[in-house]
């Protein structure tokens, strides 16, 4: 038997239930992984609540990231083998696959090798964050050395990855947080400037930091009406990239009459993970950064799989700086 987190109705963390299920065999193009660690993401909270673009089919599992060992491969999988240490990247719909369990089946196309020197907890904290930031900053935004990059909600795992990638590219990360108690932690994480938006005027501070010009790129997971404030701090010809929807209110499109000329776009990491060539480049970029030490996943706290509801409550409270990871003790893994 395996253990799998499932839920039968939309709601809060209390709907998550850890159940015993049969260990299934992987199908064509799939692999089965014995899971050691699971990375949590806000997309999974939104999915559980029914406000994500992908809707649950009950009983539903969930989860985009994991690290573990392949224990079975399906037909037509020739680049992975039993015993490989791997990580799972978000390259599928949660309504079809999930990673919250002791043994999970995922598409082989969503699996990348894990280096022996990267432990499961940090491997599970890597791919959602770094691929999301890589795609927006490197492939789409083409950030250059010396550019100022605004990173909102910067204490998230994606925000911290964006800070590191910005520095890796020779650019200048400007982080925002609503909470003053996170300011020093963001500076310690590599932000050159930190703006506490509850206490400071964001556009005015951005103009001050950039000598009146504004940032070249703003990277925002919040959306909603706040994008208009962000747009006021972007340099003419700059970019506003919205990659999330933490604010469920409508998101206005900044117009040329009130804001500098800028390019506004939405972005999702699936643009990278669903494209084999772009994913190959992303994996090479991130692995090189990890090997050199310029990219280091930040783990805020770990929970046991049996405490999955509490882990979701902790993530929802928004007090973390970095990734929340769930571990799967070996003595809990059977089959």
Q: The domain that contains 234 carries what CATH number?
A: 3.40.50.720
Note whether residue 275 is domain-resident. Answer: no
The C-alpha atoms of residue 81 and residue 77 are separated, in whole angstroms, by 8
Whether 84 and 147 map to the same domain: the answer is no
For residue 182, give the nearest of 298, 45, 287 by alpha carbon. Answer: 298
Dihedral pair phi/psi, residue 327, rounded to 5° = -100, 150
Note whether residue 315 is domain-resident. Answer: yes
The C-alpha atoms of residue 54 and residue 43 are separated, in whole angstroms, by 10
Cβ pair 286, 310 in contact under 8 A: no
The C-alpha atoms of residue 230 and residue 286 are separated, in whole angstroms, by 28
Q: Mean pLDDT across the chain, nearest whole number?
A: 95
Whether 48 and 19 map to the same domain: the answer is yes
Whether 62 and 46 map to the same domain: the answer is yes
Note whether residue 290 is domain-resident. Answer: no
Whether 261 and 174 map to the same domain: the answer is yes
**Strand, coil or helix: 306:** helix
Cβ pair 88, 113 in contact under 8 A: no
* Number of structural domains found in the chain: 2
Note whether residue 286 is domain-resident. Answer: no
Whether 246 and 137 map to the same domain: the answer is yes
**Strand, coil or helix: 66:** strand
Quote the pLDDT of residue 258.
66
Note whether residue 283 is domain-resident. Answer: no
Quote the pLDDT of residue 126.
98
Quote the pLDDT of residue 200.
97
Whether 179 and 302 map to the same domain: the answer is no
Q: Estimate to the nearest angstrom the gap between the alpha carbon of 16 and the chain centroid.
A: 21
**Strand, coil or helix: 314:** helix
**Strand, coil or helix: 280:** helix
CATH number at residue 32: 3.90.180.10
From 254, 270, 286, the end of a domain falls on 270
**HSE (side-chain half, CA atoms, 13 Å) at 275:** 12
Whether 243 and 259 map to the same domain: the answer is yes
Note whether residue 293 is domain-resident. Answer: no
For residue 295, give the nearest of 306, 284, 307 by alpha carbon. Answer: 284
In this prediction, the residues of the chain whose per-residue pLDDT falls under 70 are 255-258, 331-335
Whether 133 and 116 map to the same domain: the answer is no
From 225, 253, 270, the end of a domain falls on 270
Contacts of 188 (CB under 8 A, 6+ apart): none
Quote the pLDDT of residue 253.
80
For residue 118, give the nearest of 185, 188, 37 by alpha carbon. Answer: 37
Whether 116 and 138 map to the same domain: the answer is no
Other Cβ atoms less than 10 A from the Cβ of 255: the count is 10
Cβ pair 266, 243 in contact under 8 A: yes
Quote the pLDDT of residue 333.
43
Q: Please provide the size of the chain in residues.
A: 335
Whether 198 and 231 map to the same domain: the answer is yes
Quote the pLDDT of residue 75.
98
Whether 8 and 132 map to the same domain: the answer is no
Whether 36 and 61 map to the same domain: the answer is yes
Q: Which structural domain range is residue 157 located in?
A: 128-270
Helix (H) or strand (E) holding 193: strand 193-196
The C-alpha atoms of residue 317 and residue 155 are separated, in whole angstroms, by 13
Note whether residue 241 is domain-resident. Answer: yes
Note whether residue 148 is domain-resident. Answer: yes
């Amino acid at each position: 038997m395996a253990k799998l987190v499932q839920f039968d109705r939309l709601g809060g963390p209390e709907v998550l239930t850890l159940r015993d299920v049969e260990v299934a065999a992987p199908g064509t193009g799939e692999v089965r992984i014995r899971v050691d660690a699971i990375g949590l993401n806000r997309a999974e909270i939104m999915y559980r609540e029914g406000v994500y673009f992908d809707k649950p089919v009950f009983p539903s599992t969930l989860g985009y990231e994991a690290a573990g060992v392949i224990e079975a491969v399906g037909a037509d999988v020739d680049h992975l083998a039993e015993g490989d240490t791997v990580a799972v990247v978000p390259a599928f719909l949660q309504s079809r696959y999930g990673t919250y369990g002791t043994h999970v089946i995922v598409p082989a196309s969503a699996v990348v090798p894990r280096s022996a020197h990267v432990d499961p907890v940090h491997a599970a904290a890597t791919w959602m964050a770094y691929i999301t930031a890589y795609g927006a900053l490197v492939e789409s935004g083409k950030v250059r050395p010396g550019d100022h990059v605004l990173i909102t909600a910067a204490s998230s795992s994606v925000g911290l990855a964006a800070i590191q990638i910005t520095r890796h590219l020779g650019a200048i990360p400007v982080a925002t947080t609503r909470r003053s108690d996170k300011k020093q932690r963001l500076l310690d994480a590599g932000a050159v400037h930190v703006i506490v938006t509850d206490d400071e005027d964001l556009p005015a501070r951005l103009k001050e930091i950039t000598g009146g010009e504004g940032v070249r790129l703003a990277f925002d997971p919040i959306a909603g009406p706040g994008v208009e404030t962000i747009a006021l701090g972007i340099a003419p010809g700059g970019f506003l990239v919205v990659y999330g929807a933490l604010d469920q209110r409508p998101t206005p499109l900044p117009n040329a009459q009130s804001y500098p000329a800028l390019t506004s776009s939405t972005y999702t990491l699936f643009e990278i993970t669903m494209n084999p060539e772009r994913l190959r480049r992303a994996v090479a970029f991130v692995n090189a950064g990890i090997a050199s030490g310029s990219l280091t996943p930040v783990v805020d706290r770990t929970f046991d799989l049996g405490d999955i509801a509490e882990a979701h409550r902790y993530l929802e409270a928004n007090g973390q700086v970095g990734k929340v990871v769930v571990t799967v003790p070996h003595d809990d893994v059977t089959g």
